[in-house]
Amino acid sequence: MKFSRLRLTGFKSFTDPTDLHLEPGLTGIVGPNGCGKSNLVEAMRWVMGESSYKNMRASGMDDVIFSGSANRPARNSAEVTLFLDNKDRTAPAVLNHEDELEVTRRIEREHGSVYRVNGKEVRARDVQLLFADASTGARSPAMVRQGQIGELISAKPKQRRLILEEAAGISGLHSRRHEAELR
């Protein structure tokens, strides 16, 4: 699977529907301070199931909704869709017949988030597992935050093991084993 497009509507500074096309190879995002570069990366983490508003530089999850500007009123919902190209047929079995996956997270003010995969409502957990199995996800080392390389160098062996497990593609399995043990 490959990320092919990110669509944001009402997410942080992106009031109007905005599409970011991710072509094969390297994509660079450049622009002046405060133009929304970090917001784009946060939108990617958010749609993959980030549950901590602190990791979104917010003081509540509703803060990801466009809060208005001098000439635009605030919105009451935000939606982010991540499009994944599955022509290489590497999606999990139940989704593997699809050429493209559309993963959407939508938040309504004071009503929390709803997730959909190709139009069908799913749990946050399903989306988190989908990306964990693909060795990516909101908390995975595939998303490198500012300051994270420094943290990696001073990490304890246990934390470093988690990074290796993620790279080996087995963190989704650990998650499922943990859920099975809780039942």
Interface residue list for ligand ATP (CB under 6 A): 12-13, 31, 33-39, 63, 65-67
Q: Known binder of ligand: residue 96?
A: no
Query: In the bound complex, what is the minimum distance in angstroms from residue 176's beta carbon to ligand ATP?
Result: 34
Q: Which does 35 bind (CB under 5 to 8 A by kind): Mg ion, ligand ATP, none?
A: ligand ATP
Residue 38 in marked binding region: yes
Q: In what order do the strands lie in the sheet with 18-21?
A: 18-21, 2-9, 77-85, 100-108, 112-117, 120-122
- Our CB check for ligand ATP shows the closer of 33 and 71 to be 33
Q: Of 4, 38, 55, 67, which one interacts with Mg ion (CB under 5 A)?
A: 38
Stretch of 12-20, 33-41, 64-72, 114-122 lying at the interface with Mg ion (CB under 5 A): 33-41
Residue 143 and residue 44 in contact, taking contact as beta carbons nearer than 8 Å:
yes
User: Are the C-beta atoms of 171 and 163 separated by less than 8 Å?
Assistant: no
Task: With residue 112 as reference, give the H or E element that holds it.
Answer: strand 112-117
Rounded-to-integer distance, Cα 169 and Cα 22, Å:
23
Residue numbers of the site for Mg ion (CB under 5 A)?
A: 37-38
